[in-house]
Amino acid sequence: MSKLFSEKGELPSGLSTRASDNRVAGTWRERETSASSQPGYHIRDRELRKIHRAASVGDVAEVEKILRRQKSSLNKRDKRKRTPLHLACASGHHEVVTLLVESRCHLDLYDSENRTALMKAVQCEKEECVDILLEHGADPDLTDSHGNTALHHAVCGHRVSIAAKLLLHHANMEARNKEGLTPLLLAIKENKQPMVEFLVQKGANTHAFDKMKRNALMLAVNYESTNIVRLLEQGTDAFSEDIVGRTAETYALASG
């Protein structure tokens, strides 16, 4: 497989351009199912209750005052189904998160995109908030509307330490989203080499494949992730075929 990025040749019939490959298989970045979409929340003041506004700006004293007056505000939702915990986590206000958690708020409620507070903390790379939620029992294996778990969101970021913490709390390393992607396959498609190296070291299945039956090596070649190809080529089946009979070599020829 060392020839993948140096060998030239004619493509099989129907695979004469990279564009045709994308029409058949699709690419992750062209879809709206990406776990790497805009991580934070767009805040409109008029959509927020008082407790949501206080949580979003990290006003611990105001949140505490509201909860003393009206405990039922703890899990109140705004127009986008966000709880105070969602907003505090997305903004990284760990003191507010601690207050809400110790007040026994619900940890695993979904917002309008079926994302939990843990997913938002991971997606926004607010590591202290991730710690608090995991230590208090937030579920790392719940899925959003695209089938992504917190670990899927983590591999699209830059902090391997967050992914490591999720695995320490027994996150499922082989969970598949609606595209059939495990966190490892998603990390490859997003060209996140440190994440790929970390997941491979932790024993992620390099033989897993997506809905198009593309394995890790095919994806690395398709997305021109040269260093990841070198990492995977010794331990992945180079002759495996996808749903239309293409191998890693075919993808290499298509990408030039």
Region 119-146: mean pLDDT is: 98
Whichever domain contains 185, its CATH number is 1.25.40.20
Backbone torsion region of residue 218, taken as left when φ is above 0, otherwise alpha when ψ lies between -120 and 50, otherwise beta: alpha
Same domain (yes/no): 195, 248: yes
Question: 236 and 147 in one domain?
Answer: no
Q: Which of 137, 172, 207 is the last residue of a domain?
A: 172
Contacts with 142 (C-beta within 8 Å, 6 or more apart), sequence order: 108, 110, 116, 118, 119, 149, 150
- 185 and 161 in a single domain? The answer is no
β-pair partners for 209: 215
Question: Domain containing 56: what range?
Answer: 37-172
Query: Is residue 111 domain-resident?
Result: yes
The angle formed by the CA atoms of residues 159, 163 and 169, to the nearest 5 degrees, is: 145
Statement to judge: residues 84 and 127 lie in one domain = yes
Residue of higher predicted confidence among 230 and 2: 230
pLDDT tens for each residue of 7-29: 333 333 333 333 333 433 333 33
Q: State what percent of residues in the chain have pLDDT above 90.
A: 68
* 165 and 184 inside one domain: no
Show Cβ contacts of residue 72 under 8 Å, excluding neighbours closer than 6 positions: none
Which H/E stretch holds residue 57? helix 50-57
Phi/psi zone of residue 228: left (φ > 0), alpha (ψ -120 to 50 degrees), beta? alpha
DSSP of 96-132: HHHHHHHTT--SS---TTS--HHHHHHHTT-HHHHHH
Q: Are residues 64 and 166 in the same domain?
A: yes
Residues 76 and 135 in one domain: yes
- 132 and 234 inside one domain: no
Longest dimension (CA), the chain: 73
Determine whether 7 is exposed, middle or buried from the number of CB atoms within 10 Å of its CB (0-12, 13-18, 19+).
exposed
Better-scored residue on pLDDT, 33 or 105: 105
80 and 162 inside one domain: yes
Over the stretch 29-64, which tens digit does the pLDDT of each residue have?
334 446 766 678 887 777 788 999 999 999 999 999
Residues 118-151: b if buried by 16+ CB within 10 A, e if exposed: bbbbbbbbbbebbbbbbeeebbbebbbebbbbbb
Lowest mean pLDDT among 93-107, 207-221, 227-241: 227-241
If asked whether residues 69 and 163 sit together in one domain, one would say: yes
Average pLDDT over residues 190-207: 95
Token readout for 11 is 């493509």
Provide CB contacts within 8 A for 181, sequence distance 6+.
28, 152, 189, 210
Which of the listed residues 172, 204, 225 is the one where a domain comes to its end?
172
- On whether both 208 and 183 belong to a single domain, the answer is yes
Q: Is the pTM of this model over 0.95?
A: no
Q: Number of structural domains, the chain?
A: 2
